[in-house]
Amino acid sequence: MRIRPSLSPHSSHGPRARAATALGAVVVLLAASACSAESSDSSGAGGAGRTLALSIFGTPNSFDPAQLIEGQQTYVWDALYDTLLLQDNSGKLKPGAAQSWKYSDDARTLTLKLRGDLTFSSGAKVDSAAVKATMERTLKTPGQSQAALAAVNSVEAPDASTVVIKLKQPDAALLPLLSTAPGVIGDPKTMASKSSALDPVGSGPYTLDKKATVNGSVYVLNRRSDYWNAKAYPFKTVKIRVISDPTAVANALKAGETNVGTVDVSQISAIKAAGFDITHVDATAGASLILADRAGSTLKALGDVRVRRAINMAFDRDKMVKQLLRGSGEPTEQLFNPEGEANDPALDKTYAYDPAGARKLLAEAGYADGFSVTMPSLVYSKQFEPAITQALGDIGIKVKWEPVPAQQSLSALLSRKYPMFLVVEGLNVAPIETRSFFSPTGSKNVFRSTDPALSALLNKADKELDPAKAAGIYKEISKFGVEQAWNAPLFHIGSDWATKKGIAYLGDGSSTMSTIRQFGPAGSKG
């Protein structure tokens, strides 16, 4: 398990936090990156009498079920809405609003059975008709969740407690997605109204305190006394504040205004002296250079696997972790979560740092004099650009960074203007990571690259219902990606959690979903 108490201030998530500041508003999802918690009521070390207040960098865009955004905003809406399934702090799927689920033998029909004790905050009963109405509206509404549910053909509600989802083709990512935004249940009577954007009616463990909430500044949540899973939410009140400056978050901790938060290396000693415990998580996000134009349609060189392999050999990943992350992270040559089933430690020994060998490969591919490439300079990439420029320059690849406004980041990447680009993204479970990076419709596979061997593996993974067998297939997909150098993964980024006495951070790095279930009384289990 890659979680340990931090005994010295020699690890940091400073670059992690600064990256998160940018990514909350653009294309990269840093699930549990830079957030803190405040206690306005210090009574009760067990948590039940305390107020947990998280600070997030980005303002939630909307509480409309069809417009929910993953990332730090999840801390707010995940407390207001039930999801069909839950993802625990070890990354395992558990019953949520659906107490059970089962796939058909061909993996194209998913049947879920709802709990009988679910109610909306309005008092109305939650039933299969509400699930059907929510999902059908999401399928018709452009947004993150619409794309996630692309494989869904129809949703049926044969009785009040049964939901049947029929798929166009098998989709292994569907189950984990139902533990996130695509799996929320909205109130059919109100979710389509404009008021739902700021005044949602959900069936989750908390309700939004409209009087105490200031949109864009602070969101106050009050725990429901009748919630079915109340034990998972020990805090009576949760305050979620929007604070864009990590230094301000750290200062709040030292001043005693907060009781939980992620801290920079420069702050660890002072935070520990103030009575906080520090827990280090090695990997919560990953930074990868996406070698997107694998067919060489706009940059011919990238169509040659030797060039892509040479790029992988250009980076001293250990040095990057030490210098750029100040030790808070780990080098990697693969995309998958190191705590997940798809990660194979052996793959991290594929490409040794070897500039001379890289130049030799480039020469064999016909690029002895190197070549030039233009990449987008995004808000979160700026701090890493000098190191990337130097590493690629050392093997003869000249990089020009073209500034892209934050609000245009997504459209710039999807435009196929840039054959290579850097992403920094929160880690996830294998089916979702696979879809994002390897599927022809994946959000990071912007040139829609395909390969017969990979397609066979993707189809096999989607149809495999045995988790143990599926894990082996995902390892094969990861091996394909590394050996064919589809990308150049650089490092996983860690974080250091400060928790006041009586409160514990319950994660182990397996799940980076931003949920307040990550926090509980000291001694509780995740």
Instruction: Spell out the domains of the chain, with CATH numbers in brackets.
Output: 285-493 (3.10.105.10)
Q: How far apart are CA 326 and CA 494, in angstroms?
A: 10
Provide the whole-model pTM.
Answer: 0.85
Q: What is the distance between the alpha carbons of residues 126 and 316, in angstroms, rounded to a whole number?
A: 53
Structure token digits, residue 145? 């969740």
Please tell me the number of Cα atoms within 13 Å of 367 on its side-chain side: 24
Question: In 116-130, which positions are buried (b, 16+ CB within 10 angstroms) versus exposed (e)?
Answer: eebebbeebebbbeb
Strand 109-114 with 519-521, pairing: unpaired
| DSSP structural state of residue 126 | P
Task: Give 3-state DSSP helix, strand, coil % of the chain, rounded to 5.
Answer: 30, 25, 45
Tokens of 227: 């919630």
Question: Which whole-number Å values give the CA distances from 185 to 27, 84, 180, 188, 382, in the listed order?
Answer: 25, 8, 11, 9, 38
Residue 45's pLDDT is what?
Answer: 41
Residue-wise burial string across 53-74, b where 16 or more C-beta atoms lie within 10 A, e elsewhere = bbbbbbbbebbbbbbbbbbbbb
The C-alpha atoms of residue 148 and residue 224 are separated, in whole angstroms, by: 30
What is each CA distance from 503 to 41, 275, 357, in whole angstroms?
13, 12, 50
Helix H or strand E encompassing 467 = helix 467-483
Phi–psi pair at 181, nearest 5 degrees: -55, -40
The one-letter amino acid code at 293 reads D
SS3 219: strand
Task: Check if the beta carbon of residue 375 is closer than 8 Å to that of residue 399.
Answer: yes
Q: Consecutive 10-residue runs of the chain (526 residues): their mean pLDDT?
A: 31 34 33 34 48 81 92 91 93 95 97 96 96 97 91 98 98 96 96 89 96 92 93 92 81 80 81 88 93 98 98 98 92 94 94 98 98 96 96 98 92 94 92 94 94 97 94 97 98 88 83 87 72
Predicted local distance difference test score (pLDDT) of residue 284: 87
Measured in whole angstroms, the distance separating CA 65 from the mean position of its chain's CA atoms is 18
Q: What pLDDT shows up at residue 460? A: 97
- Residue 240: what pLDDT? 87
Give the pair of three-digit tokens for residue 487: 């990308």
The one-letter amino acid at 469: K
What integer pLDDT is reported at residue 511 of this predicted model?
Answer: 78
- DSSP string covering 365-393: TT-TT-EEEEEEE-TTTGGGHHHHHHHHH
